[in-house]
Copies of this chain bind each other. A is one copy, B any other.
Amino acid sequence: MSEKPLNVAVVGLGSMGLGMARSLLRAGFDVSGCDLSESARSALADAGGRPEATPRLAARGVAAALIVVVNAAQTEAVLFGEDGVAASLAPGAVIISSATMAPGEAKRFAARAQAAGLLYLDAPISGGSGKAASGELTVMASGAPEAFSAARPLLDAIAARVHELGPDVGIGSSFKIVNQLLAGVHIAAACEAMTFAKSLDLDLARVFEVITQSAGTSWMFENRVPHILEGDYSPRSAVAIFTKDLGIVSDIGRGENFPLPIASAALQIFLATAAAGMARDDDASVARLYAQIAGLELPMPRKETA
């Protein structure tokens, strides 16, 4: 990369945002950032970044803002609220928006950004906190060629793969939403199938082994069922992510008059799992809900010896 690194503000320093900030720092970027959590701000400082109290302060005169908050409402607030980045970014700066949201929201934000003289890339991410930390996310992006050009050095630093999906904002968000529909259904199905197997007295480790070699497998089955087998529900990705994302899927379906019976069944199961007190636990907790209902014993975590 021959260009001089841009300054970049990362707004939202959860496990995804912090991982991306660290990848940018490793790549030589000058990174400011902000988050409501003081410990997240400290973690950015520890990594060599510059924490600020508000998005507006973090983005002052900066050429790019990477927005990694959880939904459209938060994205709108950190972009266009009183303390938002739009008020302080350098003229012509690029906003890279990574929260999962309805494509219509992304279009609305892009129009406001354009009116403020800013570029906007609709750039949802996939891969989880591990890939965020290693700079190997997958980005599903759409936007004007100038937005892609401006964002390119940042994308190279955070992603192993950037799908360039077209010039229209909203396409990136649509692809992400389709992916989340499938991902959510597959997690719910994996949890339903594993607890059903338990109700049939099958050896769950053997079920995992056989299914992962059969036509019934999925990326999510292979990724999440080990959490069940290890009895480990510490959140790699939380139930609340899928009540949110399948909620967006459901909203879009209703908005488009498009029926989504499978995704709706999955949403209801995630809601039931959240209602049972597991919203912040790993999304494989859907299996614990079925087990609770049916009185099944799933594997317990291995005890660490002291």
Which residues of A are at the interface with B, using a C-beta cutoff of 8 A?
103, 126-128, 138, 140, 161, 163, 165, 171, 174-175, 177-183, 185-186, 188-190, 192-193, 195-197, 199-200, 202, 206-207, 210-211, 213-221, 223, 249, 252-253, 256-266, 268-269, 290, 293-294
Quick one: closest B residue to A163, CB to CB?
Answer: B210
Q: How far is the CA of A140 from the CA of B197 in the complex (A)?
A: 14
Contact flag A294-B257 (CB < 8 Å), given A216-B219, A217-B219 = yes
Output the least CB separation between A256 and chain B (Å).
5
Contact B215 A220 (CB under 8 A): yes
Interface of A is mostly: helix
Contact B175 A210 (CB under 8 A): yes
Output the least CB separation between A15 and chain B (Å).
16
Partner of A219, one of B174, B196, B218: B218
Contact flag A217-B293 (CB < 8 Å), given A210-B175, A258-B196 = no
Q: Nearest 3 A-B pairs (CB), nearest first?
A: A182-B216, A218-B218, A265-B265
16 additional A-B residue pairs with CB within 8 Å, beyond A178-B197, A181-B196, A196-B260: A127-B215, A161-B213, A165-B210, A171-B202, A174-B202, A177-B200, A179-B210, A179-B215, A182-B190, A182-B217, A185-B192, A185-B262, A188-B262, A261-B265, A262-B266, A262-B269
Contact A178 B207 (CB under 8 A): yes
Partner of A215, one of B183, B188, B217, B252: B183
Partner of A216, one of B178, B189, B207, B293: B178
Quick one: closest B residue to A269, CB to CB?
Answer: B261
Q: How far is the CA of A268 from the CA of B138 in the complex (A)?
A: 34
Output the least CB separation between A236 and chain B (Å).
12
Contact A181 B202 (CB under 8 A): no
Q: How far is the CA of A190 from the CA of B183 in the complex (A)?
A: 11
Q: How far is the CA of A233 from the CA of B110 in the complex (A)?
A: 40
